[in-house]
Amino acid sequence: MNIEVLTLFPELFPGPLSSGVTGRGLAAALVTLQIHNLRDYTHDRHRQVDDIPYGGGAGMVLKPEPIFEAVRARAGIGPVILLSPQGERLTQGLVRELAGHRDFYLICGRYEGVDERVGAHLVDREVSIGDYILTGGELPAMVLIDAVSRLVTGVLGSEESPKDESFAVELLEYPHYTRPAVFEGHQVPEVLLSGHHAEIERWRRAQAAERTRRRRPDLLDHQPKS
């Protein structure tokens, strides 16, 4: 998979993406990152990428011309995504959808926002990682890249790893335990020590449903009705 990122701060990449599972995926070229500096697509001596908003207001707005030029220079790339607090919420379903593409292009917003014509006439979708405001789209881009990269074949090592994770089936993941069997008086549930795989599977399903009911009951709205 190839992921391209348009940013005012290319020095931030790959940053934390170079570590752990994602870092191994990058090192093995299972995932490739191409980082583009937005200022490289300006044509004035000041390399200006922003301007004051029409109608007044605080802050500066990213100009459309360099963004359009940058994206069009990579014509044919997969979905073009603008990281924006106004976008659709990033979910595991969207992560799986993006993991099905061979490539996609991320635009990192900055300042007060991006000229509306970028969202209306250039990008395929806008994506937000949550209902809060960050200083720019770089951290959301890294979150999205990390989430998608884990689903690229070979990155996790085991193809079974993502199947039972939280949100994989619209449920939170069941509890995990490891050695020792007793720690400070707290014991691992007996069923997990039984070796009875069918019972363990039933326990895990029940625990996932109960945990979801307590912590994220909104997810249960997506479960099939029995």
Residue 13 has what pLDDT? Answer: 98
Amino acid at 126: E
What the block records as the tokens of 166 is 């939280």
As a whole number of angstroms, the distance between CA 176 and CA 164 comes to 11
Arithmetic mean of pLDDT, 152-172? 70
What three-state secondary structure class fits 6? strand
- Among 198, 147, 207, 221, residue whose Cα is nearest residue 175: 207
Give, to the nearest 10 degrees, the angle between helix 138-149 and helix 20-27: 80
CA distances from 160 to 8, 88, 153 (A): 38, 28, 11
What three-state secondary structure class fits 68? helix
Residue 209 has what pLDDT? Answer: 93
Pick the residue with more confidence: 60 or 219? Answer: 60
CA 123 to chain centre: 17
Arithmetic mean of pLDDT, 89-110? 96
Q: Which residues pair with 36 in a beta bridge?
A: 6
As a whole number of angstroms, the distance between CA 155 and CA 24 comes to 7
Please provide the average confidence, as pLDDT, over all residues in the chain: 92
Domains of the chain are 2-149 (3.40.1280.10), 166-222 (1.10.1270.20)
Res. 147: pLDDT tops 90: yes
As a whole number of angstroms, the distance between CA 101 and CA 98 comes to 6
Q: What is the pLDDT of residues 10-28, one digit of tens each?
A: 999 999 999 999 999 999 9
What three-state secondary structure class fits 221? helix
Amino acid at 84: S
Percent of the chain past pLDDT 70, that is, above it, reads 92
Arithmetic mean of pLDDT, 137-160? 91
Most confident of 36-40, 58-62, 83-87, 211-215: 36-40
Pick the residue with more confidence: 119 or 162? Answer: 119
Sequence-distant (6+) residues with CB within 8 A of 54 are: none
As a whole number of angstroms, the distance between CA 101 and CA 103 comes to 5
Arithmetic mean of pLDDT, 109-117? 93
Question: Residue 76 — very low, low, confident or very high, per pLDDT cuts 50/70/90?
Answer: confident
Question: Residue 6 — very low, low, confident or very high, per pLDDT cuts 50/70/90?
Answer: very high
- Among 166, 29, 176, residue whose Cα is nearest residue 95: 166
As a whole number of angstroms, the distance between CA 157 and CA 189 comes to 28
Res. 166: pLDDT tops 60: no
Res. 75: pLDDT tops 80: no
Q: What is the pLDDT of residues 184-209, one digit of tens each?
A: 999 999 999 999 999 999 999 999 99
